[in-house]
Amino acid sequence: MEDEAEIYDGIRAQFPLSFGKQSKPVTPLEAIHNATRRATATATTDGVASSNSTDSNKDFPSLSSSSKVWLDSLKNSNPTSRGRGNPNPRVSSSSDIVRGKSVRDDDAMVGPPRPPLDSDSVSGGEDDGLMIGPPRPLHIDDDDDEEEDRMIGPPRLAAVNEEDDDDDDQMIGPPPPPPDSRSDDSDAEEGSDGEEGGRYRIPLSNEIVLKGHTKVVSALAVDHSGSRVLSGSYDYSVHMYDFQGMNTRLQSFRQLEPFEGHQVRNLSWSPTSDRFLCVTGSAQAKIYDRDGLTLGEFVKGDMYIRDLKNTKGHISGLTCGEWHPKTKETILTSSEDGSLRIWDVNDFKSQKQVIKPKLARPGRVPVTTCAWDREGKSIAGGIGDGSIQIWNLKPGWGSRPDIHVEKGHSDDITGLKFSSDGQILLSRGFDDLLKVWDLRKVKEPLRVFEDLPNHYAQTNIAFSPDEQLFLTGTSVERDSTIGGLLCFFDRAKLELVSRVGISPTFSVVQCAWHPKLNQVFATTGDKRQGGTHILYDPTLSERGALACVARAPRKKSVHDYEAKPVIHNPHALPLFRDQPNRKRQREKILKDPMKSHKPELPITGPGHGGRVGTTKGSLLTQYLMKQGGMIKETWMEEDPREAILKYADVAAKDPKFIAPAYAQTQPEPVFAKSDSEDEEK
């Protein structure tokens, strides 16, 4: 037996420890991302997203503006690929992007450069080619003449067999156009300037939705690292999502209700992402830490003080608020009371500055929105009279605006956004317009974009990471068949680039394009439900939605079984049992006049025999005798004085009670005669 055991151990040592164990099935990432693929992943030549286009020559992908820097660096750092004559180094041919195919030369790649692999272990690519998107798994070929591939970017998704190289269904993201398939229409759309790339790369191929709200999502905030998302709604709640801790169920890890009965109107992270600001319909803004714990709320002002500068805080509901982009102790809020206030988060009981907008007539006009510039040196406010006012923060500055646009919009302004260079200001209003302003000359806007329905006071504008594009959402109109759209505009050309359908029935309110994740966020909803849509592209985006969409919920195992505990209640024993509740029994007794020993009510009106009834008698006999005239009650018709005086003679002649007791001692009264002549007469 010992020899057999030694032989078995010797044979077992030749195999790995995992030999014979069943491996868990793993779902390929490609299948996961195919499940989240959008139907409107391509954009037609007119710039409008479409899912019904059948002509492959007219379908163009969205070229990434956020990856332009990477592509330019690759183009400048690889002279061999530039010298091979690729007419467009930023875009590779469509055959190079098919999953599992060896990489050609002249391919451009999105992402930071990775170190080259060893040529001894990798072959199958051509002369130092650069590939678009994350590197795909390597395929070992028998051809020793081919050289190594240089793969740049995060790891590629799961690969497919080489015989499926020509299958376009295996592609991730929208198919890029071949260099020679550009039509005349696309050239006309790009313009005569002939810039390279021609189109913008917008991550639109895939989509996930963060649900949980019961009304429209009116506030959105993504922290600077891109790991946590905040969404606020008209259902008075704030949901907190963590990409690193979420799985495919996409559930929030915490829900807050800042103020009961007040809508959440804006959310803003601090520059260090350790705290966030919550602005609701109440007059007090709240500060929370990163985990959702309340740090404090700002003081409310005295509503009976007329001068707003003498109040310690806002006296009406807040409309907007933003954290300072550089200083982590300063925030800005605007309110319906007609003022903007700058606060110090370390002191919740006093404000640093009160700003009163310039008005044509004295009164209180609400400030509907506010915004900081990129460096935090200027403040913009949208006033209820349609004007836009900008203040520069400098020593000795006051409430007088440095820039005043009297008729910015014909209705309330819902969103303002500065460009990073501080020269361009975007404004969005209830008048269904988006205006582009040059702050160096604000008499007339540079461009006015019309037909952008807006029904929510929180509709905003956002820039792309490199600020070549800016985007805004549209609302669903009552009789329109077009749903909520996300509209992208070119900043340089000042024209509409693309319209992307987000929801067929819900309006798009807030939007954001995160620079680190390269993902587009859009909040939607109506009176019944709301959600946050996240658009991404597996070949362009990083982390964020990619981290949670591939993380399946942990399956229950045998070790997760928990026996239900048996609870022993000591009060179940008669000795410790509580007395039964006799409330109903007591109420029943109180309704019974006999058991409750209810006293008789006093006489408050006419009656007979000591009782008063509706029949003028408490007994049937008395009632019948009265009706027959046998019993007559005359005391109600008699004079009380006469009824008493008729017994005066009888009492004087035959006293029975008081008079006989004092008869022996009581003197006889003698009354003096009156001298008055009137009394004698």
Contacts of 62 (CB under 8 A, 6+ apart): 43, 174, 199, 200, 201, 202, 203, 204, 498
Residue 361 has pLDDT above 90, yes or no: no
Question: Can you give the pLDDT at residue 665?
Answer: 83
Q: Which of 64-78, 418-432, 554-568 has the highest mean pLDDT?
A: 418-432
- Residue 339 Cα to chain centre, angstroms: 24
Single-letter code of the amino acid located at 672: A
User: What is the rounded distance in angstroms from the CA atom of residue 541 to the CA atom of residue 546?
Assistant: 8
Question: Can you give the pLDDT at residue 171?
Answer: 41
Question: Can you give the pLDDT at residue 303?
Answer: 86
**Minimum mean pLDDT range among 86-95, 403-412, 585-594:** 86-95
User: What is the rounded distance in angstroms from the CA atom of residue 497 to the CA atom of residue 487?
Assistant: 8
pLDDT band at 680; cut points 50, 70, 90: low
Please report which helix (H) or strand (E) contains residue 2, including its range.
helix 2-12
Question: Can you give the pLDDT at residue 12?
Answer: 66
User: Considering the domain 216-464 in this protein, what is its CATH number?
Assistant: 2.130.10.10
Residue 341 has pLDDT above 70, yes or no: yes
Question: Can you give the pLDDT at residue 52?
Answer: 37
Per the model's pLDDT, the better-predicted residue between 469 and 248 turns out to be: 469
**Full-model pTM:** 0.60
Question: Can you give the pLDDT at residue 551?
Answer: 81
Question: Can you give the pLDDT at residue 215?
Answer: 93
* DSSP string of 328-352, one letter each residue: TTEEEEEETTS-EEEEETTEEEEEE
Question: Can you give the pLDDT at residue 130?
Answer: 39
**What pLDDT, in 10s, does the model give residues 522-550?**
999 988 899 999 999 988 888 888 888 88
DSSP letter at 229? E
Rg value, the chain, Cα? 43
**Minimum mean pLDDT range among 387-391, 585-589, 633-637, 642-646:** 633-637
Per the model's pLDDT, the better-predicted residue between 227 and 660 turns out to be: 227
Question: Can you give the pLDDT at residue 146?
Answer: 40
Question: Can you give the pLDDT at residue 283?
Answer: 93
**What pLDDT, in 10s, does the model give residues 598-609?**
887 766 655 555
318 strand-pairing partners: 335
pLDDT (mean) for 234-238? 94
**What pLDDT, in 10s, does the model give residues 404-453?**
998 889 999 999 999 998 899 999 999 999 999 999 988 899 999 999 99
Give the alpha-carbon dihedral of 306, 309, 314, 317, to 10 degrees. 60
Per the model's pLDDT, the better-predicted residue between 623 and 405 turns out to be: 405
Asked if residue 172 lies in contact with residue 30, where contact means CB atoms within 8 angstroms, the answer is: yes
pLDDT (mean) for 41-51? 39
Question: Can you give the pLDDT at residue 18?
Answer: 64
Q: Where are the domains of the chain?
A: 41-183+198-204, 216-464, 583-661
Per the model's pLDDT, the better-predicted residue between 7 and 204 turns out to be: 204
Q: Counting every residue, how long is the chain?
A: 681
pLDDT band at 559; cut points 50, 70, 90: confident
Question: Can you give the pLDDT at residue 660?
Answer: 77
Per the model's pLDDT, the better-predicted residue between 37 and 158 turns out to be: 37
Per the model's pLDDT, the better-predicted residue between 79 and 26 turns out to be: 26
pLDDT band at 56; cut points 50, 70, 90: very low
Residue 209 has pLDDT above 80, yes or no: yes
Residue whose tokens read 């836009």: 388
pLDDT band at 646; cut points 50, 70, 90: confident
Other residues' Cβ atoms within 10 Å of the Cβ of residue 175? 18
**Minimum mean pLDDT range among 297-311, 338-352, 400-414, 558-572:** 558-572
User: What is the rounded distance in angstroms from the CA atom of residue 226 to the CA atom of residue 536?
Assistant: 13
User: What is the rounded distance in angstroms from the CA atom of residue 20 to the CA atom of residue 31?
Assistant: 28
Question: Can you give the pLDDT at residue 560?
Answer: 76
pLDDT (mean) for 452-478? 92
**Minimum mean pLDDT range among 88-102, 127-141, 221-235, 425-439:** 88-102
**What pLDDT, in 10s, does the model give residues 279-332?**
999 999 999 999 999 999 999 998 888 888 889 999 999 999 999 999 989 999
Question: Can you give the pLDDT at residue 647?
Answer: 84
Question: Can you give the pLDDT at residue 413?
Answer: 93
Question: Can you give the pLDDT at residue 275?
Answer: 94
Question: Can you give the pLDDT at residue 323?
Answer: 94
Question: Residue 156's closest CA among 176, 131, 126?
Answer: 131
Question: Can you give the pLDDT at residue 372?
Answer: 93
pLDDT band at 157; cut points 50, 70, 90: very low
pLDDT (mean) for 624-631? 74
pLDDT (mean) for 85-100? 36
Question: Can you give the pLDDT at residue 70?
Answer: 44
Per the model's pLDDT, the better-predicted residue between 347 and 622 turns out to be: 347
**What pLDDT, in 10s, does the model give residues 212-222?**
999 999 999 99
Residue 187 has pLDDT above 50, yes or no: no
pLDDT (mean) for 362-388? 91
**What pLDDT, in 10s, does the model give residues 134-148?**
444 434 344 444 444
